[in-house]
Each structure stands twice: as structure tokens, then as C-alpha cells.
A and B are shown apart, each in its own frame.
Chain A
Amino acid sequence: MSPELMSAQQIAKELSETPPSSAISLQMSVDNYLDVIRGVVDLFANKKEMDTIYVTATISSDAIRRVLEALDIDASRVYFVDCISHIMMGASAAQQDEHTTLVESPTMLENLMLKVEYLIRRSQSKDKLVVIDSINSLAIHNNNWILSEFLHILVSGLRSRDAYTVILTVEEHSTPDINNMVSLVCDHGIRAGKQEG
């Protein structure tokens, strides 16, 4: 019998036990994506009154916004760096407001870092959270060399700014190479999916 999926409360509790400037690898299943969102954005970041910079490379910011709305999660502190709408030719549909910044393509990893940096500087909240959703989606568009380099520079930069980084990994789509790459830059790992540690 496979282990139970971690609940949103458990995910938030584990995140709360990590100090600011931590980089956390959050391995999830496609089946508990909604719990992960609730745990990370609502029960962790919103509860701590911190701004969330949500880097989305899997589904559009519009779609995540709708998910947040459906889950009745306050999105007023969530700022999206959307790497997927433009490449899907859905940029015109995506809202381009102060809560959403578009990156032309998930291959433009430097631009992704620059947008995160811009939002970090603009943020007024004391603590900040950066969510990468997900490393597997970024791996579709980038080779492991450039992705490792990107993670290393991004996480180091965020650590120096005392921001939390949460890197989402979808266990059904992951590979040992990707898992190693993430664990190399992270201080903590949370297994919220089905696979045993």
C-alpha cells in the first residue's frame, strides 16, 4: 500500500519549521497539486503575511489564478512570473497587470531571474517566498547544464535576500538527474507525494 499524500496543513507545518532564506525542495504528486498550492500559498505564505512570487512554467498564471479563486485563497499577495503564456501564444489572454509579469519563453532563464529580482525589489513585505512551479516543466525546455546553473544562481541570490525558495518537483515526471540537481541547491526536502523517501 502506498503512503498517504501529505495534507496542506502538514506541508505548511513543515515549511514553517524552516528558517528564512531556506531553499526547499517540495516533491509532490500530480494528485496533490491543489493541497500543495493551499499549503504553500495560503497556509504558509499568506498566514505569515509574506509576498509570494510564483514562477509558473507548467500552466498559465491565469489558470493558477482561477485555481486560487476556486480554493478561496487570497491572491492579493501573489505575484506571477509567467513563463508559459507567451510561448503558448496566449499572452493577450494573460492578464498583464502589476501582479503578472510575462517572460517570453521558459528558455529565457536569465530573464526569469531578472523578473524575480525586480519583484523582490518591489515587494514591501518583510519576508518573501519564491515558488518555482515546476523544475520538471523548466527541464522540458532547458538542458540540465543550464538548469543547474540557473538554480544555483537563483537560489544563492534569494538566500542572500532572506527569501524562501520552494522548488516544486512532480514525482511522476521527475528523473534522478533532476532530483539530484534540486537536492544540490536545497537545504530541506519535503516529500508530499506518494513515493517513499
Chain B
Amino acid sequence: MAQRTSDRCATGLEGLDTILYGGIPRSNTVLLTGSCGTGKTSLALEFLIHGAIKGENSLFVSVTENSEKLLQNIIPYQFFDRGLIKSGRLVFVDLPIMYERLGMTKPELSMEEIDLLVAAISNLAKELGTKRLVVDSITSVCYKLKTSEKIREFILKLSKALSDLGCTSILVGEVAADSTSYSSFGVEEAIADGIILMANMERRGDLLRTLQVIKMRGTMHSRAKYVLDLTPVGVLLVPLLKGGSTG
């Protein structure tokens, strides 16, 4: 499917944009999933920083780590400029603070509270003119939703609201290292427009960080597995050599 460059949200990660034939189709909601230590947060942050550098307002909704700690992780990137935060191009919001302000203190959210949370996030995105958004992690939000119905409702409504704003979103998901599923609750993967899987792959005793685009609505894409490295110039990707592949 051919798309104009303007219909794409170029991630700024050269290798990933090549895999996606130019970038994520604009307004898509992508599940970036994988086990711990695979580089999900780094990749998501880089996506936002490149957006902010290009003049697209970017919003990071942090659920598990506080923003200050995250900022320490950005610093090694050579292309990161703190001025992006000062100018408001790159904004960090801690979801636990949002829960508190919305009075969501119970361990499980009701359907009404889900609507309230979706409205709060989308209103913030609208107010900030956000074009790129990351929720890290959606799995942690799901733990407060408990049931598949609520998770489905939340992700569907949030995706719709962000898509209506022309915002391209990445929902970071966490799965166990031995999981055969792409998400913890099995719901997230079905709703997302795209799935990018990050993993640790063992080959003859070596542990390689890998990335694979499983699906991406609205574009052709490579389905091959790539090996990645997190460097000060950003995430770098090369194809997984198949001569020694065990999987």
C-alpha cells in the first residue's frame, strides 16, 4: 500500500523507518511490547525526542517510573536537548499524579473512571497540541482495570480519542520473557493498529536484543527480525543473521 510521506509519522529511528517503509501511519496506535531489559522505554523516548526536534509536540505519560528518573535515561542521547522540555515540545506527565488529582484512589477503576481517565489524557493531549504520545506502560494501567472488558474499553476509547487528534501513539506493553503472547492481558494486541515486539534472543549462549514488527495497519512492512543496540546516537538496527538462527 503506497502512502504519501505526509501520511507517515517518521519515528526518526532510521532502521525502524526503513522497516516501516517510511514510518508509522499517522494517528495509529502501536503496541510496543516485550520483556524487561529489551529497550522498549529507550525506543519510545527516542520516538518522542525525534518528534519534538521536528517541531511535533510530544507527550510521555509515565506510569511506572517517575519523570525525573526517565530524564536521567535520556541524557546519554547525543541529540537530546533539554531545551525541548523547557519549550514545552516534550512534556512528561506522571500518571499516578493524574490518578490522585482525579480521585482515583481505589485499586480498581470503574467504567465511569475509565471514561474520566481517557478524557483527562486526551484533553491534555489536545491542550498541548500533542502529535506523538507514549504511555509507559499500558500494562501497569491494565492492572488497575482488571477485566478484559474494561481493558478493551479503555484502549479502544483512548486510541479513538488520540487518533481523532491526529496523534500517533505508542503504548508500551510488558510481557514475561517466556510469553508466547504479545500482551499480558491478551486484549491490547487485538486492538492496537500495530505491534512491535522487542525481545532477548539467546543464540549459542549469546543474548541478542531483537525487534520485529508483527503488524502495522495501513502500510507494508518488513516482518523480519532485527538485532538492535542502544547507543548515544540512538537505537541502531541490523538484520538478524539467519545462518546461525535457532528459532
Contacts and interface: CB of A to CB of B under 8 A. Distances in A.
Interface of A: 104-105, 107-111, 113-115, 117-118, 121-122, 142-143, 145-150, 153, 157
A10 B233 CA distance: 38
Nearest to A148: B243
B241 A118 contact: no
Contacts of B239: 110, 153
Contacts of B240: 110
B229 A118 contact: yes
Nearest to A115: B229
Interface string B198-232: 00000110101000000000000000000111010
B208 A122 contact: no
Contacts of A117: 236, 238
Contacts of A147: 243
Interface of B: 203-204, 206, 208, 227-229, 231, 233, 236-244
A114 B238 contact: yes
B233 A121 contact: yes
Contacts, number: 56
Contacts of B244: 107, 109, 142-143, 145-146
A107 B206 contact: yes
A142 to B, nearest CB: 7
Contacts of A145: 243-244
14 contacts: A107-B244, A108-B206, A110-B208, A110-B239, A114-B227, A114-B228, A114-B238, A115-B229, A121-B233, A145-B244, A148-B243, A149-B242, A150-B243, A153-B241
Given A111-B208, A146-B244, A150-B241, 6 more contacts: A107-B203, A114-B228, A118-B233, A143-B243, A145-B243, A145-B244
Contacts of B237: 114
B242 to A, nearest CB: 7
Which 9 pairs of residues, A with B, have the shortest CB-CB distance? Answer: A146-B243, A145-B243, A110-B227, A114-B229, A146-B244, A113-B238, A118-B231, A149-B243, A149-B241
Given A143-B243, A146-B241, A148-B243, A104 B206 contact: yes
B204 A107 contact: yes
Nearest to B239: A153
A105 B206 contact: yes
A110 B236 contact: no
A117 B240 CA distance: 15
Nearest to A153: B239
A114 B46 CA distance: 18
B167 to A, nearest CB: 30
A150 B238 CA distance: 10
Contacts of B238: 110, 113-114, 117, 153, 157
